Amino acid sequence: MMNYTSTMTDMQKQMGAFVEPFRAVNGKLFEHWEKMADYQLDMARRYTDVTIGQLREATEIQTPEQLQSYVQKGTEAVRETTDSLTKDARTMVEMTQAMTEDLQKTVRESATQRN
According to the model, what pLDDT value does residue 2 have? 56
Looking at residue 49, what is its pLDDT? 95
**Rounded-to-integer distance, Cα 84 and Cα 78, Å:** 10
6 or 68, higher pLDDT: 68
| CA–CA distance, 56 with 66 (Å, rounded to integer) | 13
Note the residue count of the chain: 115
The per-residue pLDDT for 1 is 52
Mean pLDDT of the chain: 88
Can you tell me the distance from the alpha carbon of 70 to that of 57, in angstroms, rounded to the nearest whole number? 7
pTM: 0.72
State the pLDDT confidence band at 31, using cuts at 50, 70 and 90: very high
Residue 66 makes CB contacts below 8 A (sequence gap 6+) with 60
